[in-house]
Amino acid sequence: MTLKIAVIGDQFMLASTFEQAIKNSCSVPTKIRTLNLDFPDVPMRQGREEDGTAGLKEFLGDPDPIADFIGDAELLVTHLAPLSADMLKRLPNIKMVAVARGGPVNVDINAVRERNIRIVNTPGRNASAVAEFTIGAILSQTHNIVRGHDGLRKGNWRGELYRADITGDELCDMTVGVIGYSEIGRLVVKFLRAFGCKILISDPYVDVLPEDADYGVRKTDLDELLEASDVVTLHARLTPETKEFINADAFARMKKGAVLVNTARGQLVDQDALIAALSSGHLHGAALDTFAVEPPEADSPLLSLENVTLTPHVAGASLRTVRVTANKIAEEVRRYIANESPVNPC
Q: SS3 letters for 266-298?
A: HHHECHHHHHHHHHCCCEEEEEECCCCCCCCCC
**Strands annotated E in the chain:** 3-9, 30-36, 75-78, 96-99, 118-120, 175-179, 198-202, 218-219, 231-234, 258-262, 283-288, 308-310
Active-site hit among 118, 186, 313, 332: 313
Question: What integer pLDDT is reported at residue 168 of this predicted model?
Answer: 85
Alpha carbons 176 and 174: distance in angstroms, whole number:
6
Active-site hit among 294, 297, 306, 340: 294
Alpha carbons 10 and 132: distance in angstroms, whole number:
24
Q: Does 218 participate in catalysis according to the annotation?
A: no
Alpha carbons 143 and 50: distance in angstroms, whole number:
48
Alpha carbons 333 and 26: distance in angstroms, whole number:
8
Spell 147-177 as b/e; 16+ CB within 10 A means b: beeebeeeeeeeeeeeeeeeebeebeebbbb
pTM of the complete model:
0.91
Q: Does 265 participate in catalysis according to the annotation?
A: yes
Active-site hit among 101, 147, 265, 284: 265
Question: What integer pLDDT is reported at residue 309 of this predicted model?
Answer: 95
Question: What integer pLDDT is reported at residue 48 of this predicted model?
Answer: 84
Question: What integer pLDDT is reported at residue 114 of this predicted model?
Answer: 95
Find the largest Cα–Cα distance for the chain: 72
Three-state SS annotation for 230-246 = CEEEECCCCCCCCCCCE
Q: What is the pLDDT along the chain (346 residues), one digit of tens a residue?
A: 799 999 999 999 999 999 999 999 988 889 999 999 999 999 888 888 777 888 898 899 999 999 999 999 999 999 999 999 999 999 999 999 999 998 899 999 999 999 999 999 999 999 999 999 999 999 999 999 989 999 999 999 999 999 988 888 999 999 999 999 999 999 999 999 999 999 999 999 999 999 999 999 999 999 999 999 999 999 999 999 999 999 999 999 999 999 999 999 999 999 999 999 999 999 999 999 999 988 899 999 999 999 999 999 999 999 999 999 999 999 999 999 999 999 999 9
Question: What integer pLDDT is reported at residue 27 of this predicted model?
Answer: 85
For the chain, how many residues are written? 346
Alpha carbons 230 and 186: distance in angstroms, whole number:
19
Q: Does 147 participate in catalysis according to the annotation?
A: no
- Is there a contact between 67 and 87 (Cβ–Cβ < 8 Å)? yes
Q: CA dihedral defined by 313, 314, 315, 321, rounded to 10 degrees? A: 130
Question: What integer pLDDT is reported at residue 214 of this predicted model?
Answer: 98
